[in-house]
Amino acid sequence: FPAMSAAVVAAAARSTLRPPSLQTLLEGTPESATVPYTSSSGADSESKTADKSSLTRKLKHDVIEGVNQLIQEIAGCHEQIAEQAIEHIHQNEVILTLGSSRTVLEFLCAAKEKKRSFRVFVAEGAPRYQGHLLAKELVARGLQTTVITDSAVFAMISRVNMVIIGAHAVMANGGVIGPVGVNMAALAAQKHAVPFVVLAGSHKLCPLYPHNPEVLLNELRSPSELLDFGEFSDCLDFGAGSGSLQVVNPTFDYVPPNLVSLFITDTGGHNPSYMYRLIADYYSADDLVM
């Protein structure tokens, strides 16, 4: 048998020394891994074609298997996180949340099903008012629910035992990207020594840091959610040429890791300082190469 090329040896070594990733799957079948060209005969050509076809089928199978496994993890993460609710929510507590999150909904309902009696304050999450949707679902599931305005978070936080929110993404430094207004809730919780707990599935772990230039921490939604276009035009005096009204409607908010008390994922509870280790278990260094 011909000796393996350096590329084949390097690929084999990397695949055994690091967690599998889509990148390692794609690079694990270099062209040099096929039978080297030694003759122009038809038999050799057919052999090379068969080897390439076999490797392609195996690669396709591995990628599909990996994607299906990820889909199953995403579908089941809500239940796995909810199973831990009984360890964190206790009798007669008051929980504050903001906006709407399926993970938070299932987490709170799981505690209710375990016969825990508690009240939920839901900040409405203006201007989209996603908190109204969560409040309706909580009431339908039999939970005591109170809707408050976002500006009332500081006023109500002294009555709260724990803040629980969902996450859009968890950064490598333990920071959280969540619904707009969540940083205000985190600051209020820190001021009153209230635990600030973040629920996030493993698929929301991000290997990047907030300062990375390729990270877009926010996006702006339509100004019409804050101010009607008719009212907007009435505020401008085009004849005088004075006045400049701008409407900024951000979608997300960033919470630094020092404001987070605990992360609850489908693998258990973790401190913010441990998140980089958890992310390292899920991402290969090759996944970060753009």
Range of the domain at 20: 6-77
pLDDT cut 90: percent of the chain above it: 51
Residues 6+ apart with CB under 8 A from 21: 283, 284, 286, 287
Instruction: Note the pLDDT tens digit of each residue in 195-218.
Output: 999 999 998 999 888 887 667 678
* Assigned domain for 42 exists: yes
CATH number of the domain encompassing residue 169: 3.40.50.10470
Residues 270 and 214 in one domain: yes
Residues 263 and 150 in one domain: yes
* Assigned domain for 240 exists: no
- The predicted pLDDT at position 208 comes to 87
Question: Residue 137, exposed/middle/buried by CB under 10 A (0-12, 13-18, 19+)?
Answer: middle
pLDDT band at 91 (very low <50, low <70, confident <90, very high): very high
Total Cβ atoms within 10 A of residue 189 = 23
Residues 120 and 258 in one domain: yes
Average pLDDT of the segment spanning 104-116: 96
Phi, psi of 13 (to 5 degrees): -65, -40
Residues 53 and 108 in one domain: no
Residues 33 and 119 in one domain: no
Residues 45 and 100 in one domain: no
* Assigned domain for 237 exists: no
pLDDT band at 238 (very low <50, low <70, confident <90, very high): low
- Mean pLDDT score across all residues of the chain: 83
Average pLDDT of the segment spanning 137-154: 97
pLDDT band at 158 (very low <50, low <70, confident <90, very high): very high
Rounded CA separation 99/107 (Å):
15
Residues 62 and 206 in one domain: no
* Assigned domain for 267 exists: yes
Cβ atoms of 205 and 278 closer than 8 Å: yes
Residues 56 and 185 in one domain: no
pLDDT band at 131 (very low <50, low <70, confident <90, very high): very high
- The predicted pLDDT at position 9 comes to 46
* Assigned domain for 171 exists: yes
* Assigned domain for 230 exists: no
Instruction: Note the pLDDT tens digit of each residue in 114-130.
Output: 999 999 999 999 999 99
pLDDT band at 37 (very low <50, low <70, confident <90, very high): very low
* Assigned domain for 239 exists: no
Considering only 16-20, 157-161, 275-279, which range has the smallest mean pLDDT? Answer: 16-20
End residue of a domain, out of 77, 97, 115: 77
Residues 209 and 114 in one domain: yes
Phi, psi of 2 (to 5 degrees): -70, 150
* Assigned domain for 228 exists: no
pLDDT cut 70: percent of the chain above it: 77
Average pLDDT of the segment spanning 260-283: 91
Residue with the bigger pLDDT between 233 and 183: it is 183
Residues 67 and 204 in one domain: no
- The predicted pLDDT at position 281 comes to 85
CA angle 86, 90, 95 (to 5 degrees): 100
Residues 13 and 118 in one domain: no
Chain centre to alpha carbon of residue 237: 44
Average pLDDT of the segment spanning 14-30: 50
Number of domains in the chain: 2
User: What residue ranges in 105-261 does DSSP mark as E strands?
Assistant: 119-123, 144-148, 162-166, 169-170, 176-179, 196-199, 252-255
Antiparallel, parallel or unpaired: β 262-265 and 196-199: parallel
Residues 21 and 159 in one domain: no
End residue of a domain, out of 77, 101, 133: 77
Residue 1 scores a pLDDT above 80: no
End residue of a domain, out of 40, 56, 77: 77
